[in-house]
Amino acid sequence: MSERQEKVTPASGDDAQGGNDARGMALHTKIFLGLVIGGATGVVLNVWLGGEQRHLQWVVSHISEPVGQIFLRLLIMIVIPLVFASLSLGVAGLGDLRKLGRIGIKTFLYFILVTTLAVFIGLALVNTINPGGRLPTEVKAKLLETYGGEATQGLARAEGVSFGIKTFVNIVPRNPLAAAVRMDMLAVIFFSLIFGIALTRVPSYRAAPMISFLEALGDAMVVIVDLAMKLAPYGVAALIFSVTARFGYDLLLSLGLYVITVLLGLAIHLLVSYPLLIRFFARLNPWRFFRRIQTVMITAFSTSSSAATLPTTMRVTEEKLGVPREISGFVLPLGATMNMNGTALFEGVTVLFIAQVFGVKLGLGAQLIVVIMSVLTAIGAAGVPGGSIPLLILVLQTVGVPGEGIAIILGVDRILDMCRTTLNVTGDVTAAAFVARSEGFLPVDKSVEIVPAAVDS
């Protein structure tokens, strides 16, 4: 057992990621209960009173939404320092540039290939099921009318988004602090990578204080995550309640086939592609893998944000799967921004669906462009709720489908966002496990038993 694991193990006995508290209930069980109770209460009140009911609206906007937002913000406020500390330390820890190059290439190839696979699954389903072709015209007209306003806002946001050579130039920040303030993750990642590389080139006695500083910064962020996750059962309940209490369930019915297509695609990727990758690439038992990371999946589901989940993702991946910090510190911050399998699948299905609704025929060539654009925009999308919507409008417009068409799906987006974010984050952990295994870190088959004190299943 490494020194670091020995260091964190005793502290993790009552931690946020699944240890038992004094009364014996594991935190992830409490979070799960929060999810179920919050979700069910919201649904019941919605059905009973109607999502528009005044008192219910008041409870949502004055109680559950603020509580949920505070929880979300506690997690998001850690993201910039955590990404900076863990990425630069991860890179510095990898030591030489050749190793970094090898791991970097492996990670990016994995991200791109698995994301592309996800889009193909989505496109195969949407072409077969044809949900857009079967959407009744009156439903289409009503949705365009109801969500037209929001779609116009989305279109305005999409105006500011362009995808071209400038996108790549912008990855290099002019001012890393300004990038951090804007939460421009690709630029922050770039600076952190370069900073880590630079640290490896500074004489070690000079680099040592900075490395200690970054380690302390990372450790302090971990403590904050633990504190925040103590609130998770309530935060998760509040977030889920806010969504289910206000949601228009009739929409789910009118858009049923589309929603089923997206969910089926996500389910196939989650239950077929991931287990195969976990089994054959990470060489872990998929069932145990999923059990170990359930806190991560629930956090992703309830926050709809890869970025907000990142602190938990890192903690769990290190402690429960035994992925060393230099790998998790490198792969996971990158993954939270660039590896969005669920988002890419959702984008592919949605573009085709809206094209079907508007009767725009997309041939093989156009669909190939949809694949490429979905993968690229999933890399560029921010890991926040609805982060992919402005980019999705861009993809629609690129293949000649009216961007306003986004109005049709906006009403169900939050529910789909929760599901696709769960996949995005699970994909990141899968990638980290694969990279760790390929670098010879996880001892075959024993890997998930690596930190006995954190084992609770």
- Which is nearer to ligand ASP, 86 or 304 (by Cβ)? 304
Q: Which two tokens stand for residue 88?
A: 């630069």
Selected range binding ligand ASP among 49-57, 211-219, 266-274, 299-307, rule: CB under 6 A = 299-307
Phi-psi region of 365 (alpha: psi -120 to 50; beta: other; left: phi over 0): alpha
- Which is nearer to ligand ASP, 305 or 356 (by Cβ)? 305
Q: Residue from 388, 430, 438, 447 that binds ligand ASP (CB under 6 A)?
A: 388
Query: CB–CB of 367/145 below 8 Å?
Result: no
Q: Residue from 17, 273, 312, 343 that binds ligand ASP (CB under 6 A)?
A: 343
According to the binding rule CB under 6 A, does residue 132 interact with ligand ASP? no
Restricted to residues 395-424, the positions that interact with ligand ASP (CB under 6 A) are: 417, 420-421, 424
- Which is nearer to ligand ASP, 297 or 384 (by Cβ)? 384
Q: Which residue has the tokens 């995550």?
A: 225
Q: Residue from 222, 316, 381, 431 that binds ligand ASP (CB under 6 A)?
A: 381
Q: Which two tokens stand for residue 30?
A: 């409490």
According to the binding rule CB under 6 A, does residue 374 interact with ligand ASP? no
At 241, the amino acid letter reads: F
According to the binding rule CB under 6 A, does residue 350 interact with ligand ASP? no
According to the binding rule CB under 6 A, does residue 428 interact with ligand ASP? no
- Which is nearer to ligand ASP, 30 or 420 (by Cβ)? 420
Smallest distance, ligand ASP to C-beta of residue 305, A: 4
According to the binding rule CB under 6 A, does residue 246 interact with ligand ASP? no
Smallest distance, ligand ASP to C-beta of residue 411, A: 15
Selected range binding ligand ASP among 249-257, 275-283, 368-376, 385-393, rule: CB under 6 A = 385-393
According to the binding rule CB under 6 A, does residue 93 interact with ligand ASP? no
- Which is nearer to ligand ASP, 7 or 182 (by Cβ)? 182
Q: Residue from 229, 384, 429, 451 that binds ligand ASP (CB under 6 A)?
A: 384
Smallest distance, ligand ASP to C-beta of residue 388, A: 4
Q: In the stretch 301-340, what mask flags binding to ligand ASP with x, by CB under 6 A?
A: ---xxx---------------------------------x
Smallest distance, ligand ASP to C-beta of residue 76, A: 11
Q: How many residues bind ligand ASP (CB under 6 A)?
A: 16
- Which is nearer to ligand ASP, 336 or 451 (by Cβ)? 336
Selected range binding ligand ASP among 23-31, 68-76, 150-158, 379-387, rule: CB under 6 A = 379-387
Selected range binding ligand ASP among 31-39, 285-293, 376-384, 433-441, rule: CB under 6 A = 376-384
According to the binding rule CB under 6 A, does residue 385 interact with ligand ASP? yes
Q: Residue from 39, 324, 383, 427 that binds ligand ASP (CB under 6 A)?
A: 383
- Which is nearer to ligand ASP, 319 or 417 (by Cβ)? 417
Smallest distance, ligand ASP to C-beta of residue 85, A: 21
- Which is nearer to ligand ASP, 92 or 419 (by Cβ)? 419
According to the binding rule CB under 6 A, does residue 348 interact with ligand ASP? no
Query: CB–CB of 196/259 below 8 Å?
Result: no
Buried b / exposed e along 127-149 (16+ C-beta atoms within 10 A): eebebbeebeeeebeebbebbee
Q: What is the 3-state secondary structure (H, E, C) of the chain?
A: CCHHHHHHHHHHHHCCCCCECCCCCEHHHHHHHHHHHHHHHHHHHHHHHCCCCHHHHHHHHHHHHHHHHHHHHHHHHHHHHHHHHHHHHHHHHHCCHHHHHHHHHHHHHHHHHHHHHHHHHHHHHHHHHCCCCCCCHHHHHHHHHHHHHHHHHHHHHHHCCCCCHHHHHCCCCCCHHHHHHCCCHHHHHHHHHHHHHHHHHCCHHHHHHHHHHHHHHHHHHHHHHHHHHHCHHHHHHHHHHHHHHHCCHHHHHHCHHHHHHHHHHHHHHHHHHHHHHHHHCCCCCHHHHHHHCHHHHHHHHHHCCHHHHHHHHHHHHHHHHCCCHHHHHHHHHHHHHHCCHHHHHHHHHHHHHHHHHCCCCCCHHHHHHHHHHHHHHHHHCCCCCCCCHHHHHHHHHHCCCCHHHHHHHHCCHHHHHHHHHHHHHHHHHHHHHHHHHHCCCCCCCCHHHCCHHHCCC
- Which is nearer to ligand ASP, 416 or 450 (by Cβ)? 416
According to the binding rule CB under 6 A, does residue 86 interact with ligand ASP? no
- Which is nearer to ligand ASP, 233 or 380 (by Cβ)? 380
At 394, the amino acid letter reads: L
Separation of first and last alpha carbons in the chain: 20
Q: How many CB atoms lie within 10 A of CB 22?
A: 6
- Contact residues: ligand ASP, CB under 6 A: 304-306, 340, 343, 381, 383-388, 417, 420-421, 424
